Structure 1
Amino acid sequence: MPDERTGFESRRRTFLKSVGALGVTAAGSSVATAQESTESADSLGDYHQALRDDLTGRGGNRTLPAGEYVYGTTEEAALEAFSLEGDGEESTISVDTDAVPITTAGRLNVSGGAGQPHEVSYKGLIEDASFSEGDLLLGVAYVRSDSEHAQAKASFKYEYTDSDGETTYSDSFVQRGAEMDPTGEWLRYFFPIEVGAKPDGSDHVPFLEFWTGYGDQTIEFGGLALIDYSDDDVDLGTLPPYDYEGRSPDAEWREEAHERIEEHRKTDLEVEVLGPGGQPMNRAGVEVEMQEHEFDFGSAVSVNHVTGDEEDDETYRETFLEYFNKAVVENGLKYPAWEGGWDMSQDDIRSTLDWLNERDVPTRGHYLLWEEYTTDGGGGMYIENADELSTDEIEDLVAEKIRNHAETFDGEVSDWDMHNHPIWQSNFRDTEGLGWEAVDRWWQVANEATDDELYTNEMGAIGGAWQRSQYLDYIEHLVENDYPVDGIGFMGHHQQQWGQMLPITGDRSMEEGFDAFADFDLPLLITEFDIEIFSRRNAQDVAVQADYTRDFLTMAFSKEAVEGVMSWGFWEEDHWRPTGAYFDSDWTLRENGEVYRDLVFDEWWTHERGWTDHDGVFETRGFKGDYAVRARKGGLTGEKIVTVDDETETVTVELSPDDEESDDEESDDDVECGPGRDDEPGKGPGWKGKKGNGHGKGKRGNGHGKGKHGKKHGWKENDERT
């Protein structure tokens, strides 16, 4: 498959990783340095070496030292330490798959124990090592099961003799992630352990075990390991699986967010149904079916796949239209792409914009200004001979590029990232002879060249918080000096390795960031949302990604100032961080994709049916957006396509005779207002082609969103500009 990102995107990853490191350091987090273990690398089996390489090579503040293996250094040695206790049978199997690095596993055929999980366990006693209170350990296991609703739970305890001479057990010291719901594929689980005090008694023997007594089930364990970090500088928060504050389903912030969603994203709707003579029609069946959100749930799109003719390209286009209502061309409008520096034709870029505009999909322009001379960061102004030019020549060249770009695509895009990466890269402002005066001029040029809205765009303010204060200062400068800024954009890229899944509320939290920028009274837009995790094979990484997707979207949707969330791609085969995509390479919807779908097209989607009252009126409440409103009484039908927002009062539907039916064919009480979404996404007409009947012009209409918010700030005369 051709890849329009080859080369420059890999370089951008390198840059962003280095920037992420600076951001984490600035935030005060420490980064653990990989250390040599006393174990010889030659003594490690392939799996144990691969596991160590993974944990010591992660980067960011999730890098771990080597530690010491407790259950031996080979798969076989670890398996020998574990045995089944309770009703069931145990056997050893070979693992023949390239999907995971293990080669052997223990299979447990569990019987009985339903309701008493601890009565059947897979247990590994540790008789040749001792631990002290406060020591940190990390348990690891690959687990799978073909049994429906399989369950297991990890535990680390002391077995000891109490004062009465009885064998008893301490509480478990596993700190998080103990519960497992194995599936038919091998998935890895981590179990961070902080060893507690030894209970009063004697003969304390520590052990790791997995409770499996949840009823009849077959469950397999491989890749068993226990890593001791007691001699290393590691804290509990550094150990996987990773979490974030506010994740709990009953966290207090959720109720407030749902109340804000009810207040800001929904509105009352009154439907008046009139007969052919203008008389109110009581007991008329009414259907109010949402077609499109007012809120932007968009995605970046690839020129190659919008214009391609392969089967995957067709699926790509269909999937985009099915799941998203706004677009940004990921690379096609960057200067090196448009001006021939990358292998991308102007005809294909034009065709991509045409395809989107023909379907009334508002499309963002990315970007007009990026203070980078070359393409090393993934874009820039594409000035290859900058060292041969004077600052006056550079200023004029950049101004001309901005003017040409804005005029070339005027009316074809809804808004622009006018100033991209203003905090990460201030190369032009740091150049003597350019500085803020040149930036002032470039904003003015853009404002004069187009009526399309002009946004800023930066990372590390909502996706992480390591550039938040600098970005706030930058926006304050724009607003105080009356720049023509129409909105504030945030690159919501989250990398698990850098700990960028913010707390939901509190200090340096997601909510604090939204609220701080909302004070500028400008629309806020998440321009590039994704969540990169370490591995799709790690069950707990997948779970936290899904939960953070849920919570990020919920918080964003609940904040009145936020106008949308643009995902930065959706398919694994065309995503700059493949673990962050919503769809696997075979188009299977991933867990984070299911969360996105269920929120956008179920929890936040309105499809109501009912009957008019004596006055011919049906009242309901729904999410703001485009609707098909239908009514029927006997052989009379009517339909109206409307945009429902705070300004909408009464929608009047006038009924006329239905040529295909008579009054004898359907009674007043036998209402079938039309099909809704099927239970299975992608099947029902309310989901597939949700714009419906060719009426789905999109909330911005044929003008493609020009001036949705209007120019909030004028531009001062030159002598008043900073």
Structure 2
Amino acid sequence: MTNERADIGSDRRTFIGSLAALGALGALPGAARVGAAQEDDSIDDYYQTLRQILTQFRGLPEGEFVYEPDEQATIETFDNVGPGGSSSSSFTVDDVNVPFTQAERVEINEDPENNWTYSYQGIIPDGQFEAGDVLLGVAHVRSGSSDAQIQAGFKYRYENSSGETAYGDENFVAEGAMVEPTGSWERYYFPIEVGEKPDGSNHEPYMEFWTGFAQQNLDFGGLALIDYSATDVAVGDLPVGRHSHPIFDYDGRSEGATWREDAYARIEELRKASLDVSVVDADGNPLPGASVDVAMQEHEFDFGSAVSVEHITGDADDDDVYRARFLENFNKAVVENGMKWPAWSGDWDIDKEATRQTVQWLNDQEIPTRGHYLVWEEYGGANGGGMAVSEDRSDGELQEEILDKIESHTAEFEGQVTDWDMHNHPMWQSNIRDRLGWDAALEWWSTAAEATDAGLYTNEMGNVAGDFLRDEHYEFVQRLVDEGAPVDGVGFMGHVQFSNGNVTPPKEMLSTFDQFGELDLPILITEFDIQIDSRDNQRQVDWQADYLRDFLIACFSHDAVEGLVNWGFWAGDHWRPTGALFDSNWGLRPHGEQFMNLVFDEWWTEDSGETNDEGTYSSWAFRGEYEVTASYEGEDASTTATLSDGGTTVELTLDAAQSTATDEGESDEGTETESTSAVGPGLGVGSAVAGAGALAGYKLTRDDDDDA
């Protein structure tokens, strides 16, 4: 971790006092509920969420729902229309990654004659629209078919002059009508400007999706049609296409926001303490006028990152840079995938020995390292992790296997990890707990506590990147604490997605920290990143940098929060590349600059001055590790010191070049401490990593090109 600015090239030492220090993921929230939904008993949860996203993040007026704002009722309004070579069926969506719960599957089982042979449409029998009215269609769509395609429309069904039922030829969807669904649920917006009614009578407007492009299956959910005709909204003001959620003006972004001023005031008191340097001569007499330099080496607060086994143990040029960048910029680690059960059990192509070498390398560099994870209540690894156990085992066999896994994993890494995500995704996935019962979960915790001295944390999404699991997570932890489970900390995943609206305003984050702070447990942001749609969109890039700034300020300003761990840092190996701090060419992106400026400039202490008449120099400094140097008439001495809550006094003796450091005024004699390099030889990862030892003094340059 280096204070490396464009104009400052010096490396600093990674100086960690002890791996036994209190230690303390990806979250995949789709358009999850953001903040408290608007109170309206006539509108169900999904439509309240949709309304809030459009009003809070887009700045649109409320508009009126054309279809009944009830998921089941809207699904029932839509019909699969066609000659008979198709079928449809409704189903329940049990996935916290999407905001709706009801959906319908349409299957086209023959080669259609044309695109409009089949249509999924919802008639509005009492709909009254005028030419020029502005509407917004919304749909979530996915498909298991390759090259799937649909076309959105808004038209009239009517009776023509011959008394026959006819359908309007003109499509009033203004933009974005063509959609190519993928295998994942994605939200689409369709701005509509109503046109003139065709000649005829008994006009009934309808929203539809042509599905006759090929043999294909299509899932529809979260359907809505919103009428803005009573407002001053123009069709050009509406979002268009996939994932279009401009959320630029989150509450608290503005310059001079009061919450931010208050947060900085708290930071000044919470994250700083007095570092007093006493300089004396060989006889113990004070030396007024001695020069003193106070140089921070490490934060007390955790600013960490997940790391890849491949790049920690690799021998490519990028691997060398990867290791160096990590050591320069982060003071805590977690292995991203190698310790997950599907990897450790051999289901994934990650070598166990390479994972062991990665953890050993981190320990050799004195980097506190988290264990991810002991329990994740999914049987297999389809959603990014799980227990790698068979669902077919009996209850007793299943419980015994989980307990064995807890004991074996903690034994494998005992003394090498500071803390574990003991219970990962406990709210998103409770499959095994639902089967075995609450007492089984309590046994997982007690077994872990008996097996390891490392801290045990919960780890869940939807707390500070959206609020969709916040209250459930709080109630879960509260119950664990009330029933005596050995919970040592609470982990909040922080996977922010611009498109999906899971952006928690800073004041709401602080309120959440207050809420969980009542449990008297430390909070760690365990998996942080901010994904945007496009790095070519300057407005999104600027938003990303501002939101990262405010997210970090909120965390650093609250006494319950002990750290923040990024979920990767390089676009060349990041699950959401637009969120990486460094681009694939190792250029530091704007939000990466924001991170470095806060951590190594604004929140970094480098002071110098002279001792007063009592031979003392005092610095109100950020808590962490320091190198302190004093010089007087050609003599100098230095020492290291830990600055924590309550302050620290350092005594330096000149002439004899002896030094002592004391905490809270209590003297403890010592000698001058020799500096050590952040990256040194003997990395303990074999020939693949040994080259990293040469990186002490390796000059790294920044390429500011954003290519990912």
What band does the TM-score fall into relative to the shorter chain? 0.5 to 0.7
Q: Is contact 1:37-1:68 (8 Å) kept?
A: no
Distance between the aligned counterparts of 1:520 and 1:476, measured in 2?
A: 7
Structure 1 residues 613, 443: CA separation in 2 closer, same or farther (over 3 Å shift)?
A: same
Shift of 1:649: 3.4
- Residue identity in the other structure for 1:458: E
Structure 1 residues 546, 60: CA separation in 2 closer, same or farther (over 3 Å shift)?
A: farther
Q: Is contact 2:338-2:350 (8 Å) kept?
A: yes
Q: Is contact 2:495-2:528 (8 Å) kept?
A: yes
**Pair 1:309 & 2:315 matched:** yes
Query: 2:461 — aligned with what?
Result: 459
Structure 1 residues 630, 43: CA separation in 2 closer, same or farther (over 3 Å shift)?
A: farther
Structure 1 residues 66, 558: CA separation in 2 closer, same or farther (over 3 Å shift)?
A: same
Distance between the aligned counterparts of 1:452 and 1:259, measured in 2?
A: 33
Q: Is contact 2:28-2:495 (8 Å) kept?
A: no
Shift of 1:696: 7.1
Q: Is contact 1:241-1:541 (8 Å) kept?
A: no
Query: 2:695 — aligned with what?
Result: none
Query: 1:412 — aligned with what?
Result: 416
Please list, as runs of the form range in 1=range in 2, the aligned pairs for 1:277-288 lying within 5 A after superposition: 277-288=283-294
Q: Is contact 2:193-2:235 (8 Å) kept?
A: no
Q: Is contact 2:244-2:499 (8 Å) kept?
A: no
**Pair 1:693 & 2:659 matched:** no
Q: Is contact 2:627-2:641 (8 Å) kept?
A: yes
Shift of 1:64: 1.8
Q: Is contact 2:32-2:466 (8 Å) kept?
A: no
Query: 2:342 — aligned with what?
Result: 336
Please list, as runs of the form range in 1=range in 2, the aligned pairs for 1:244-255 lying within 5 A after superposition: 244-255=250-261
Query: 1:30 — aligned with what?
Result: 50
Query: 2:580 — aligned with what?
Result: 581
Secondary structure (helix, strand or coil) at the match of 1:271 reads strand
Shift of 1:252: 1.0
Please list, as runs of the form range in 1=range in 2, the aligned pairs for 1:591-630 lying within 5 A after superposition: 591-630=590-629
- Residue identity in the other structure for 1:293: H
Please list, as runs of the form range in 1=range in 2, the aligned pairs for 1:426-575 lying within 5 A after superposition: 426-431=430-435, 434-505=436-507, 509-575=508-574
Q: Deviations over 1:207-243 (max 9, x none)?
A: xxxxxxxxxxxxxxxxxxxxx78xx999xx9763632
Structure 1 residues 337, 238: CA separation in 2 closer, same or farther (over 3 Å shift)?
A: closer
**Identity over the aligned pairs, expressed in percent?**
46
Secondary structure (helix, strand or coil) at the match of 1:521 reads coil
Secondary structure (helix, strand or coil) at the match of 1:16 reads coil
Shift of 1:319: 0.5
Structure 1 residues 56, 551: CA separation in 2 closer, same or farther (over 3 Å shift)?
A: farther
Q: Deviations over 1:493-542 (max 9, x none)?
A: 1111221111222xxx2121111111111000000011111111111111
Runs of 4+ in 1 over 6 A off after TM superposition: 21-24, 51-62
Distance between the aligned counterparts of 1:549 and 1:53, measured in 2?
A: 34
Distance between the aligned counterparts of 2:183 and 2:194, measured in 1?
A: 19
Query: 1:135 — aligned with what?
Result: 233
Distance between the aligned counterparts of 2:244 and 2:337, measured in 1?
A: 35
Query: 1:423 — aligned with what?
Result: 427
- Residue identity in the other structure for 1:503: P
- Residue identity in the other structure for 1:36: A
Distance between the aligned counterparts of 2:279 and 2:678, measured in 1?
A: 23
Secondary structure (helix, strand or coil) at the match of 1:646 reads coil
Structure 1 residues 262, 390: CA separation in 2 closer, same or farther (over 3 Å shift)?
A: same
**Pair 1:318 & 2:423 matched:** no
Query: 1:665 — aligned with what?
Result: none
Shift of 1:425: 0.4
Q: Is contact 1:329-1:366 (8 Å) kept?
A: yes
**Pair 1:65 & 2:190 matched:** yes
Shift of 1:655: 1.6
Secondary structure (helix, strand or coil) at the match of 1:321 reads helix
Q: Is contact 2:188-2:241 (8 Å) kept?
A: no
Query: 1:650 — aligned with what?
Result: 649
- Residue identity in the other structure for 1:33: V
Query: 2:391 — aligned with what?
Result: 386
Secondary structure (helix, strand or coil) at the match of 2:499 reads helix
Q: Deviations over 1:653-707 (max 9, x none)?
A: 1223789xxxxxxxxxxxxxxxxxxxxxxxxxxxxxxx9921779xxxxxxxxxx
Structure 1 residues 67, 60: CA separation in 2 closer, same or farther (over 3 Å shift)?
A: farther
- With normalisation by structure 1, the TM-score equals 0.63
Distance between the aligned counterparts of 1:528 and 1:27, measured in 2?
A: 29
Secondary structure (helix, strand or coil) at the match of 1:30 reads helix
Q: Is contact 1:56-1:66 (8 Å) kept?
A: no
Please list, as runs of the form range in 1=range in 2, the aligned pairs for 1:92-171 lying within 5 A after superposition: 134-138=232-236
Distance between the aligned counterparts of 1:460 and 1:133, measured in 2?
A: 33
Structure 1 residues 574, 311: CA separation in 2 closer, same or farther (over 3 Å shift)?
A: same
Q: Is contact 1:21-1:60 (8 Å) kept?
A: no
Structure 1 residues 286, 22: CA separation in 2 closer, same or farther (over 3 Å shift)?
A: closer
Secondary structure (helix, strand or coil) at the match of 1:430 reads helix
Secondary structure (helix, strand or coil) at the match of 1:592 reads helix
Q: Is contact 1:267-1:621 (8 Å) kept?
A: yes
Secondary structure (helix, strand or coil) at the match of 1:656 reads coil
Shift of 1:344: 1.3
Query: 1:403 — aligned with what?
Result: 407
Distance between the aligned counterparts of 2:604 and 2:674, measured in 1?
A: 15
Q: Is contact 1:59-1:497 (8 Å) kept?
A: no
Q: Is contact 2:152-2:177 (8 Å) kept?
A: no
Q: Deviations over 1:568-624 (max 9, x none)?
A: 000111111111110111011111101100000000000000000111100110000
Structure 1 residues 61, 397: CA separation in 2 closer, same or farther (over 3 Å shift)?
A: closer
Distance between the aligned counterparts of 2:526 and 2:543, measured in 1?
A: 22
Distance between the aligned counterparts of 2:634 and 2:301, measured in 1?
A: 36
Structure 1 residues 250, 52: CA separation in 2 closer, same or farther (over 3 Å shift)?
A: farther
Query: 1:176 — aligned with what?
Result: none
Distance between the aligned counterparts of 1:69 and 1:525, measured in 2?
A: 51
Q: CA RMSD in A?
A: 3.4
Secondary structure (helix, strand or coil) at the match of 2:506 reads coil
- Residue identity in the other structure for 1:539: Q
Structure 1 residues 333, 53: CA separation in 2 closer, same or farther (over 3 Å shift)?
A: farther
**Pair 1:264 & 2:270 matched:** yes
Distance between the aligned counterparts of 2:353 and 2:241, measured in 1?
A: 56
Q: Is contact 1:629-1:641 (8 Å) kept?
A: yes
Q: Is contact 1:61-1:498 (8 Å) kept?
A: no
Shift of 1:18: 6.1
Distance between the aligned counterparts of 1:522 and 1:444, measured in 2?
A: 18
Distance between the aligned counterparts of 2:181 and 2:541, measured in 1?
A: 20
Structure 1 residues 245, 17: CA separation in 2 closer, same or farther (over 3 Å shift)?
A: closer
Q: Deviations over 1:292-314 (max 9, x none)?
A: 00000000000000001001111
Secondary structure (helix, strand or coil) at the match of 1:484 reads coil
Ranges in structure 2 where 5+ consecutive residues have no aligned partner? 1-24, 38-44, 52-136, 140-150, 156-168, 196-228, 659-672, 680-708
Q: Is contact 2:247-2:501 (8 Å) kept?
A: no
Q: Is contact 1:58-1:497 (8 Å) kept?
A: no
Secondary structure (helix, strand or coil) at the match of 1:33 reads strand
- Residue identity in the other structure for 2:469: Q
Ranges in structure 1 where 5+ consecutive residues have no aligned partner? 1-11, 71-130, 139-192, 194-227, 660-690, 698-722
Moved more, 648-657 or 544-553: 648-657
Distance between the aligned counterparts of 2:369 and 2:182, measured in 1?
A: 39
Q: Is contact 1:62-1:497 (8 Å) kept?
A: no
Q: Is contact 2:410-2:451 (8 Å) kept?
A: yes
Shift of 1:646: 1.8
Distance between the aligned counterparts of 2:408 and 2:311, measured in 1?
A: 26
